[in-house]
Amino acid sequence: MSEIVQYLMSGLTAGAIYAVIALGYTLLYNATELVNFAQGEFVMLGSLGLFTFLSVLGWPLWAAFPAVTLVVGLLGVVLERLAIRPVKKPEPITLIIITVGASIFLRGLAMLLWGKDPHSVPGFAAAAPIRVLGAAIMPQSLWILAVVGLLMGGLHLFSKHTLTGKAMEACAIHRSGAWILGIPSDRMAQLAFAMSAALGGIGGIIISPITMAGYDMGTMLGLKGFCAAMLGGLGSHWGAVVGGLLLGVLESLGVGFFSSGIKDAIAFLLLLAILMARPSGLLGPKAVTRF
Amino acid sequence: MTGKRRLWATTAFAGAIAVASMAVSNAYHQQLLTVIGIHTLLALGLNMLMGYAGQISLGHAAFYGLGAYGTGILTTHYGWSPWAAFPLVLVAAGAVAYVIGRPTLKLSGYYLAMGTLGLGIIGHVIFREWDSMTGGASGMVGIPPLQVGGTVLSLGRSGMILVWVVVLMAFFFCDRLVDSRIGRALRALGDSQGAAAACGVDTGRLKAVIFSFSAVLTALAGFLYAHLVGFISPSSFDFLMSIRMVTMVVIGGMASIYGSLFGASVITLLPEWLHVFSDYEMMVYGLVLMLVMIFLPQGLTRGVLDALEGVKSES
Amino acid sequence: MADRTILHIDGVSKAFGGVQALYRVGFRVAKGHIQAVIGPNGAGKTTLFNVITGATCPDEGRIVLEGMEIQGRPMHELVARGIARTFQNVELFASLTVLENVLVGRHVRTRCGLVGAMVRWPWVEREERGARDAAMELLGFVGLEEVAHKMSGDLPFGWQRLVEIARALASDPRLLLLDEPAAGLNAVETAALADLIQKIRSRGITVVLVEHDMNLTMDISDRIVVLDRGRKLAEGTPREIQADEAVMEAYLGRKG
Ligand SMILES: Nc1ncnc2c1ncn2[C@@H]1O[C@H](COP(=O)(O)OP(=O)(O)O)[C@@H](O)[C@H]1O
Ligand SMILES: [Mg+2]
Number of folded domains in chain C? 2
H helix or E strand, kind and range, residue A186? helix A185-211
Q: By the CB < 8 Å criterion, does C171 face chain B? A: yes
Q: Of A79, A87, A84, which Cα lies nearest the Cα of A105?
A: A79
In a domain? residue B20:
yes
Instruction: Say if residue C136 is in the same domain as residue C162.
Output: yes
Q: Of B198, B190, B110, which Cα lies nearest the Cα of A291?
A: B110
Of B126-130, B306-310, C102-106, C149-153, which range is least confident? Answer: B306-310
pTM, to two decimals:
0.89
A132: left (phi over 0), alpha (psi -120 to 50) or beta: beta
In a domain? residue B260:
no
Termini Cα distance of chain C: 36
State the DSSP string of chain B.
--HHHHHHHHHHHHHHHHHHHHH---HHHHHHHHHHHHHHHHHHHHHHHHHHH----S-HHHHHHHHHHHHHHHHHTS---HHHHHHHHHHHHHHHHHHHHHHHTTS-HHHHHHHHHHHHHHHHHHHHH-HHHH-GGG-B--PPPEEETTEEE-TTHHHHHHHHHHHHHHHHHHHHHHTSHHHHHHHHHHH-HHHHHHTT--HHHHHHHHHHHHHHHHHHHHHHHHHHH--B-GGGGSHHHHHHHHHHHHHH-TT-TTHHHHHHHHHHHHHHH-TTHHHHHHHHHHHHHHHHHHH-TT-HHHHHHHHHHHHHHH-
User: What is the rounded CA–CA span in Å between residue C144 and residue C161?
Assistant: 11
- The domain in which residue C30 lies consists of 1-82+175-256
Span from the CA of C41 to the centroid of ligand 2 (angstroms)? 7
d(CA A57, nearest CA chain B) in Å: 26
Contact A213/A45 with Cβ under 8 angstroms?
A: no
Contact A243/A231 with Cβ under 8 angstroms?
A: yes
A84 DSSP 8-state letter? I
- The domain in which residue A57 lies consists of 15-218
Instruction: Say if residue C179 is in the same domain as residue C59.
Output: yes
Q: What is the pLDDT of residue A287?
A: 40
Q: Of B170, B212, B167, B218, which Cα lies nearest the Cα of B62?
A: B218
Chain A residues in contact with B121 by the CB 8 A cut-off are 219-220, 223, 264, 268
Chain B residues in contact with A37 by the CB 8 A cut-off are 58, 113, 117
Mean pLDDT of chain B: 88
Instruction: Say if residue C118 is in the same domain as residue C59.
Output: no
Number of residues that make up chain B? 315
Q: What is the pLDDT of residue A173?
A: 64
User: What is the rounded CA–CA span in Å between residue A105 and residue A38?
Assistant: 9
In a domain? residue B304:
no
Mutate: best of A34, A97, A221, partner B, most B CBs <10 A: A97
Tell me the pLDDT band of C232, cut-offs 50, 70 and 90. Answer: very high
Answer whether residue C132 shows pLDDT above 50: yes
- The rounded average pLDDT for each run of 10 residues, N- to C-terminus, in chain A (291 residues) is 80 90 89 88 94 89 91 94 86 88 94 90 75 76 86 84 77 62 74 92 90 88 89 82 90 78 76 76 50 31
User: Is the Cα torsion angle A239, A244, A248, A251 positive or negative in sign?
Assistant: positive
Instruction: Say if residue C168 is in the same domain as residue C212.
Output: no
Tell me the pLDDT band of B157, cut-offs 50, 70 and 90. Answer: confident
Mean pLDDT for the stretch of residues B133-160: 86
DSSP SS3 for A259: coil
C-alpha distances in Å from residue C44, one per residue of A289, B114, B132, C140, C220? 20, 37, 64, 34, 22
pLDDT tens-digit series, residues C243-253? 877 777 766 55
Answer whether residue B50 shows pLDDT above 70: yes
Of residues A260 and C140, which shows the higher confidence score? Answer: C140
Instruction: Say if residue C98 is in the same domain as residue C215.
Output: no
Q: What is the pLDDT of residue A175?
A: 59
Q: What is the pLDDT of residue B2?
A: 63
Contact B66/B96 with Cβ under 8 angstroms?
A: yes
pLDDT tens-digit series, residues C114-131? 998 898 999 999 999 999
Q: What is the pLDDT of residue A284?
A: 58
Q: Do B200 and C118 touch (CB under 8 A)?
A: no
Mean pLDDT for the stretch of residues B22-27: 82
Instruction: Say if residue C95 is in the same domain as residue C122.
Output: yes
Number of folded domains in chain A? 1
Tell me the pLDDT band of B275, cut-offs 50, 70 and 90. Answer: confident
User: What is the rounded CA–CA span in Å between residue A198 and residue A202?
Assistant: 6
Number of residues that make up chain C? 256
In a domain? residue A134:
yes
State the DSSP string of chain C.
-GGGEEEEEEEEEEEETTEEEEEEEEEEEETT-EEEEE-STTSSHHHHHHHHHTSS--SEEEEEETTEE-TT--HHHHHHHTEEE--SS----TTSBHHHHHHHHTGGG----HHHHHH--HHHHHHHHHHHHHHHHHHHHHT-GGGTTSBGGGS-HHHHHHHHHHHHHTT--SEEEEESTTTT--HHHHHHHHHHHHHHHHTT-EEEEE-S-HHHHHHH-SEEEEEETTEEEEEE-HHHHHH-HHHIIIIIIHH-
Tell me the pLDDT band of B177, cut-offs 50, 70 and 90. Answer: very high
Residues facing residue C19 across a β-bridge: C16
Considering C151, C172, C193, which residue would you say is the last residue of a domain? C172
Contact A27/A197 with Cβ under 8 angstroms?
A: no
Tell me the pLDDT band of C46, cut-offs 50, 70 and 90. Answer: very high
In a domain? residue A3:
no
User: What is the rounded CA–CA span in Å between residue A149 and residue A137?
Assistant: 18
B188 Cβ neighbours under 8 A, 6+ residues apart:
B195, B196, B199, B201, C93, C96, C101, C104
Instruction: Say if residue C119 is in the same domain as residue C10.
Output: no
Ligand 1 lined by C42 (C-beta under 6 Å)? yes
Which chains are within 8 Å of B by 3+ CB pairs? Answer: A, C
Span from the CA of C21 to the centroid of ligand 1 (angstroms)? 6
Q: Number of C-alpha atoms within 13 angstroms, CB side, residue A46?
A: 34
**Helix, strand, coil share (%) of chain A residues, nearest 5:** 75, 5, 25
Chain B residues in contact with C92 by the CB 8 A cut-off are 195
Ligand 1 lined by C55 (C-beta under 6 Å)? no
Mutate: best of B49, B111, B250, B291, partner A, most A CBs <10 A: B111
Chain B from 223 to 242: CB within 8 A of any C CB: none
In a domain? residue B306:
no
In a domain? residue A241:
no
Q: What is the pLDDT of residue A174?
A: 64
CA A28-A29-A31 angle, 5° bins: 65
Contact B65/B297 with Cβ under 8 angstroms?
A: no
- The CATH number covering residue C252 comes to 3.40.50.300
User: What is the rounded CA–CA span in Å between residue A181 and residue A162?
Assistant: 17
- The domain in which residue B127 lies consists of 3-238
Of residues B287 and A263, which shows the higher confidence score? Answer: B287
Chain C residues in contact with B176 by the CB 8 A cut-off are 117-118, 120
C-alpha distances in Å from residue A126, one per residue of A55, A118, A121? 15, 21, 12
Instruction: Say if residue C37 is in the same domain as residue C59.
Output: yes
Q: Do B181 and C94 touch (CB under 8 A)?
A: no
Q: Of A80, A73, A85, A84, which Cα lies nearest the Cα of A42?
A: A73
Instruction: Say if residue C160 is in the same domain as residue C94.
Output: yes
d(CA B174, nearest CA chain C) in Å: 7
Q: By the CB < 8 Å criterion, does A63 face chain B? A: no
State the DSSP string of B84-138.
HHHHHHHHHHHHHHHHHHHHHTTS-HHHHHHHHHHHHHHHHHHHHH-HHHH-GGG
Considering C141, C172, C203, which residue would you say is the last residue of a domain? C172
Of A273-282, B17-26, B30-39, B54-63, which range is least confident? Answer: A273-282
Mean pLDDT for the stretch of residues B80-96: 94
Span from the CA of A142 to the centroid of ligand 2 (angstroms)? 57
H helix or E strand, kind and range, residue A130? strand A130-132
pLDDT tens-digit series, residues C194-207? 999 999 999 999 99
User: What is the rounded CA–CA span in Å between residue A63 and residue A54?
Assistant: 9
The type of residue at A80 is: E
Number of folded domains in chain B? 1
User: What is the rounded CA–CA span in Å between residue C176 and residue B88?
Assistant: 46
Q: What is the pLDDT of residue A290?
A: 34
Q: Whose CA is nearest to atom 18 of ligand 1?
A: C46
Q: What is the pLDDT of residue C255?
A: 47
Answer whether residue C215 shows pLDDT above 90: no
Calculate helix-pair angle for B239-252, B109-129, nearest 10 degrees. Answer: 140
Which chains are within 8 Å of A by 3+ CB pairs? Answer: B
Q: What is the pLDDT of residue A9?
A: 85
Ligand 1 lined by C21 (C-beta under 6 Å)? yes
Longest dimension (CA), chain A: 59
* ipTM, 2 dp: 0.91
Mean pLDDT for the stretch of residues C225-232: 92
Chain A residues in contact with B58 by the CB 8 A cut-off are 37, 96, 100
In a domain? residue A146:
yes
Q: What is the pLDDT of residue C246?
A: 76
User: What is the rounded CA–CA span in Å between residue B78 and residue A230?
Assistant: 40
In a domain? residue A255:
no
Instruction: Say if residue C134 is in the same domain as residue C186.
Output: no
If you count residue pairs, one on A and one on B, with CB atoms under 8 Å apart, how many are there? Answer: 127
Q: Do B200 and C128 touch (CB under 8 A)?
A: no
